[in-house]
Amino acid sequence: MGTPKTTKKSKKKQNPESKFHFDLNLCSKNNDLRLAISLYEAALSNNTRFNHHHFNALLYLCSNSVTDPSLKDLALEYGLRIFDHMSLIGIVPNEATITAVARLAAAKGDGDYAFELVKNIRKYNALPRLRTYDPALYCFCEKLEAEKAYEVEEHMGSVGVSLEEPEIAALLKVSSETGMEDRVYGYLHKLRNLMRSVSESTAKVIEDWFCGGKASKVGEVNWEVNRIKEAVLRNGGGWHGQGWIGEGDWVLCRTNVDSNGECQSCNEKLVCVDIDHAETDRFAQSVASLAMEREVKSNFSEFQDWLEKNADYNAIVDGANVGLYQQNFSDGSFSVSQVDAVINELYNRSGKKWPLVVLHNKRFRAIVENPSHRKLVEEWMNKGILYTTPTGSNDDWYWLYATVSLKCLLVTNDEMRDHIFELLGSSFFLKWKERHQVRYTFVKGNLKLHMPPPYSSVIQESEKGTWHIPIARDSSSEQSAISWLCINRPSVSKAHDEVVKTAVTSQNSDGLCCNIKLLDSGKSVDGSNILYGNQDLSQICDNNTTATTGKRKERSPSP
């Protein structure tokens, strides 16, 4: 027995509108513009009733076909005619409609119309997306209409649409080709803020700028080392954002960075990039605000007051996480010895400074009930090592707040993916964790701390104005997934090094002004005025800047 041939019967019973809908969907699936236009013309002749889906499908096919030279004219002619037809019969466009028509306008070279469509999209109760802006933006960039491209970017920002790498690369390219050096500098920093590495095509745009004649002529001839240094510290390391430094030709090189972060081309050492001071302060305030909503407010406020008076810690230890590590066997319990091993290792690494262990009060009471542990815990308390959080509290809030507010290290294997961390958002959380989290292992009772990496694989701008840009290779490559583009001005590096060297040999002189001046040759240095304010010179000359905590105050006992 065969199955009933219901499909053929149902097709025979299709009305003209259903058949048009079915055939048009097949054209969309097969990307067949010519057949779709034939169907459209036939539907017009038959007075077929059109709906929103029909118009969007036709416009989508037209906008997709403009890249085919043999179909471009046909796509443009019918695409704009179909949009006029849609408007004539009163069908309201949506975002997909506007995006398709904007693509058609851009393919025709009419970026103004493409942009006008986006600006008026709200009258259709629709919201633009990145793809809606792309046609106008790319059209203006390709025609070197830089100011109009910047206007598109500004409009995107006003409605909360963010740029991604291709859009930044297009804006970087048009800025480079029109000689807008400040814009180039700004878009490099937008890339730095957005991307951990760039694509090969974006790297080519960057190389073209630095190899051009305009790039060699831009930059501040007189600059203050102290101002640049302070900006780097304030920004969390890895960039200063103060503009181009010096003058002269740039040297570009594809290179590698060794395991310690040293560039194999210019020998500069890359740094582990942290979030900037303003972000850190906002982060700490956010943690405190959320903690007070979910904790007993007076308890957390008491901890904040205590921490302010006891701010001289370089590391915070998540006591529960360390004590319960690998204790999930039948006889396992909280391991005081593991916590003590972490405490002593941090003490020895930090130049004899004790860390702060945060532990829940319930856990603390269980530990001190054991006579063999009580003496050790009392030693911790006497040294100001231990803070016990109140009954009913979540100790995660306490150790997280302490780490953020003191800008120090956190010893925990917690991946920080729980609900409380989701509340904080993730825009900068990964960067913060990379810089501050210390993971650990115990192998046969032996502790090994896994410190933060010596450098971050992100775009970096050094105090000398040198750029290091990681480029993502094809994932199928047998080589390292990242290569580096090193971009530096040898004359600036030499001038900077000579001034720093002069400062180091004159450590006893104060009250001078720290300026570097490159003479026309790019080789001479005017180092007559050098000042590093009240900063320690060894810190000024150290590329691996570390976060510092507040001044030690008289320590009050932990509650």
Q: What is the pLDDT along the chain (559 residues), one digit of tens a residue?
A: 444 444 444 445 668 888 999 999 999 999 999 999 999 999 999 999 999 999 999 999 999 999 999 999 999 999 999 999 999 999 999 999 999 999 999 999 999 999 999 999 999 999 999 999 999 999 999 999 999 999 999 999 999 999 999 999 999 999 999 999 999 999 999 999 999 899 999 999 999 999 999 999 999 888 888 999 999 999 999 999 999 998 899 999 999 999 999 999 999 999 999 988 888 999 999 999 999 998 888 899 999 999 999 999 999 999 999 999 988 754 558 899 999 999 999 999 998 999 999 999 999 999 999 888 999 999 999 999 999 999 889 999 999 999 999 999 999 999 888 777 777 766 678 889 989 999 999 998 899 999 999 999 999 999 999 999 999 976 544 445 689 999 999 878 766 766 665 554 554 444 333 344 333 333 322 322 222 222 232 332 333 333 323 333 344 444 4
pTM of the complete model beyond 0.85: no
Residue with tokens 């600006």: 119
- Report the C-alpha gap between 210 and 213 in whole angstroms: 8
DSSP state of 162: P
The neighbouring-strand residues paired with 469 are: 485
In the three-class reduction of DSSP (H, G, I as helix; E, B as strand; rest coil), residue 517 is classed as: strand
Closest by CA to 146, choosing from 184, 188, 195, is 184
pLDDT of residue 539: 33
How far CA 410 is from CA of 319, 321, 399, 416, 441, in Å, comes to: 11, 11, 8, 12, 15
- Report the C-alpha gap between 305 and 19 in whole angstroms: 74
- Report the C-alpha gap between 229 and 81 in whole angstroms: 60
Closest by CA to 451, choosing from 419, 409, 389, 391, is 409
Q: In this structure, what token pair is assigned to residue 360?
A: 């829940």
pLDDT of residue 275: 87
- Report the C-alpha gap between 165 and 151 in whole angstroms: 18
The neighbouring-strand residues paired with 446 are: 443
- Report the C-alpha gap between 100 and 114 in whole angstroms: 10
The neighbouring-strand residues paired with 318 are: 358
pLDDT of residue 126: 95
Closest by CA to 322, choosing from 363, 374, 371, 379, is 363
pLDDT of residue 559: 47
- Report the C-alpha gap between 201 and 169 in whole angstroms: 8
Strand 467-472 to 482-488 pairing: antiparallel
pLDDT of residue 473: 77
Consecutive H or E run containing 410: strand 409-411
Consecutive H or E run containing 227: helix 225-234
Closest by CA to 492, choosing from 179, 251, 205, 203, is 251
DSSP state of 90: T
* 507 backbone dihedrals φ, ψ, rounded to 5°: -65, -20
pLDDT of residue 517: 38
Q: In this structure, what token pair is assigned to residue 288?
A: 């405190």
Contacts 24+ apart (CB under 8 A), 442-451: 442/325, 442/326, 442/338, 442/341, 447/338, 447/341, 447/342, 447/345, 449/342, 449/345, 449/346, 449/349, 449/411
Q: In this structure, what token pair is assigned to residue 278?
A: 């303003």
How far CA 339 is from CA of 118, 307, 351, 382, 385, in Å, comes to: 59, 21, 19, 16, 11
pLDDT of residue 513: 35
- Report the C-alpha gap between 130 and 166 in whole angstroms: 11
Q: In this structure, what token pair is assigned to residue 101?
A: 């028509």
